[in-house]
Amino acid sequence: MTTHADRVAYLHEAGFNTFLLRSEDVYIDLLTDSGTNAMSDRQWAGMMMGDEAYAGSRNFYALEEAVRTYYGFPELIPTHQGRGAENILSKILIKPGDHVPGNMYFTTTRAHQELAGATFHDVIIDDAHDPASNHPFKGDVDLAKFEALVREVGADRVPYITVSATVNLAGGQPISLANLRAVAEYSRAHGIKVILDATRAVENAWFIQQREPGMAGVTVAEILKQLCALADGATMSGKKDSLVNIGGWLGLRDPRLAEKARGLVVLYEGLHTYGGLAGRDMEAMAIGIGESVQEDYIRSRIGQVHYLGQKLIDAGVPVVRPLGGHAVFLDAAAILDHLPREEFPAQALAAALYLESGVRSMERGAVSAGRDPETGENRYPALELVRLTIPRRVYTQAHMDVVAESVIEVVEQRAGVRGLRFTYEPELLRFFQARFEET
Ligand code: F0G
């Protein structure tokens, strides 16, 4: 725990950017659910069974088996984390001048697509941009937007569509099986590949079980398989669903494409049977995959997120509705409606929350969205959010109570929260290292 005076000093040192705080100065850390999970006794036992051979580690084959069993992709290329897989996939599929649609963007995914020479197009349904819409599948692709893009640029300039399940920046919102099926049918007819961002697909599968007609009696494991069956490949950050601290993979069906990917993984990550991971990390991820689809686990995981969200809703705090899978997203534009978008209300709200109680959250708004690569102008996405992201198997309901009380306190004091302006703005993925001062 820290005092208010400590936190004033730490926040100024960090340039009002929660990414630049030291972890030891944070009381409850809701920056991300990425790599912050607590591993189980079984996973730790697996860590002791690392086969650290350079080539052909036993743990690689355990991971390959787990991915085939639970995700159904026959070809597995391990990577150090999700963005390693995104880099390789973007390089093997994109030619300069191509166009890649997706159901909203994710920061690293879009950055790799743009670095490979593609233009990204958001084809998510309009409801996703409205924090108050209660649509049960706000992650769905708007097929009309997707088709309009393909007609405009030509199917041969669209190598693939990225479909995220769930959609992080929309608030952890799921896509429906029916929608993905329709996307896959249309894509197949036009020679466009479907690439699933499977980072939180287990959480997505749980929402399908809860909300999609006819799916109530189907297990989360089975739904996960059905989701993946509709995709030609998947990029995965094991640091989320798979309950590990590091690890990811690229899963593919086409062996020729997998050969190309293996050629690149050796350059960027490591040999194709370790991809930047220690053997023990692959073992922990293989075990985590099996644990992640257990019904009791996934119910309690999302139940905890919803416990926090419901407390905030009951107190009248504007949050993204319906509540998502990995986080509660505060509607910063609504809470700090005295600040113009140019003064980054979400960045300011995250800073104010840290100051209040030492709870660390993350800006997901205009700072994260960056600048348009062509015009150089700031991008102002419809959503200006602060993410309270819940690590898996780490915190108790009592911690959630503290978080709720702190947020409610900040909302009551909101008139005193000032806007921010850049004192340092990095060119790429600026939100990680940017610094600010109060306006
Ligand atoms: N895709 C999604 C939907 C993600 O949320 C992330 C990471 C990645 C890909 C990249 O994976 O971090 O293993 O390289 N999201 C983290 C977050 C950073 O905090 O939401 P990675």
**According to the model, what pLDDT value does residue 429 have?**
86
The last residue of a domain, from among 292, 327, 354? 292
Task: Tell me which residue range forms the domain holding 427.
Answer: 4-33+295-438
- Do both 260 and 360 map to the same domain? no
Q: What is the DSSP string of 140-165?
A: -B-HHHHHHHHHHH-GGG--EEEEES
pTM of the model: 0.96
Q: Average pLDDT of 153-175?
A: 97
Ligand 1 center from residue 255 Cα (angstroms):
26
- Do both 302 and 282 map to the same domain? no
**According to the model, what pLDDT value does residue 199 have?**
98
Q: For residue 19, what is the domain's CATH number?
A: 3.90.1150.10
Which among 354, 347, 336 is positioned nearest to 369, based on CA atoms? 347
3 state DSSP class of 271: coil
Q: What is the mean pLDDT of the chain?
A: 97
Phi, psi of 237 (to 5 degrees): -105, 105
Which among 420, 268, 277 is positioned nearest to 351, based on CA atoms? 420
Dihedral sign of CA atoms 370, 376, 378, 383 in order: negative
- Do both 49 and 107 map to the same domain? yes
Amino acid at 346: A
Number of domains observed in the structure of the chain: 2
**According to the model, what pLDDT value does residue 100 have?**
98
For residue 428, pLDDT over 90 is answered with no
Ligand 1 center from residue 151 Cα (angstroms):
31
- Do both 19 and 103 map to the same domain? no
With contact defined as beta carbons under 8 Å apart, do 400 and 33 qualify?
Answer: no
The last residue of a domain, from among 253, 276, 292? 292
317, 320, 323, 329: CA torsion to nearest 10: -80
Q: State the number of CA atoms in the 13 A half-sphere of 335 facing the CB.
A: 38
Which among 240, 227, 220, 275 is positioned nearest to 78, based on CA atoms? 275
- Do both 106 and 76 map to the same domain? yes
Active site residues: 54, 106-107, 197, 240, 364, 431
**According to the model, what pLDDT value does residue 28 have?**
98
Name the residue of 107, 108, 169 whose CB sits within 8 Å of the most ligand 1 atoms, as the mutation to test its pocket: 108
- Do both 102 and 115 map to the same domain? yes
Taking CA atoms only, the protein residue closest to ligand 1 atom 15 is: 34
- Over residues 102-152, the pLDDT tens digits come to 999 999 999 999 999 999 999 999 999 998 999 999 999 999 999 999 999
The CB-based long-range contact list for 178-185 (8 Å cut-off, 24+ gap) reads 178/212, 179/137, 179/140, 179/141, 180/141, 180/227, 180/230, 180/231, 181/230, 182/141, 182/143, 183/141, 183/143, 183/146, 183/230, 184/230, 184/231
3 state DSSP class of 101: strand
Q: Average pLDDT of 240-268?
A: 98
Atom of ligand 1 nearest to the CA of 33: 19
- Over residues 10-47, the pLDDT tens digits come to 999 999 999 999 999 999 999 999 999 999 999 999 99
pLDDT band at 72 (very low <50, low <70, confident <90, very high): very high
Phi-psi region of 7 (alpha: psi -120 to 50; beta: other; left: phi over 0): alpha
**According to the model, what pLDDT value does residue 224 have?**
98
Name the residue of 237, 242, 361, 389 whose CB sits within 8 Å of the most ligand 1 atoms, as the mutation to test its pocket: 237
Q: For residue 263, what is the domain's CATH number?
A: 3.40.640.10
**According to the model, what pLDDT value does residue 353 have?**
98
Atom of ligand 1 nearest to the CA of 109: 9
Distance CA 51, CA 136 (A): 44
- Do both 351 and 405 map to the same domain? yes
Pairing of strands 119-122, 99-102: parallel
The last residue of a domain, from among 292, 309, 332? 292
**According to the model, what pLDDT value does residue 435 have?**
97
**According to the model, what pLDDT value does residue 93 have?**
98
- Do both 281 and 299 map to the same domain? no
Ligand 1 center from residue 47 Cα (angstroms):
23
- Do both 257 and 387 map to the same domain? no
For residue 361, pLDDT over 90 is answered with yes
- Sheet of 160-164, strand order: 75-79, 248-252, 233-237, 193-197, 160-164, 99-102, 119-122
Distance CA 106, CA 129 (A): 14
- Do both 128 and 264 map to the same domain? yes
- Do both 89 and 172 map to the same domain? yes
**According to the model, what pLDDT value does residue 373 have?**
84
- Over residues 215-232, the pLDDT tens digits come to 999 999 999 999 999 999
Q: Average pLDDT of 422-426?
A: 96
- Do both 282 and 386 map to the same domain? no
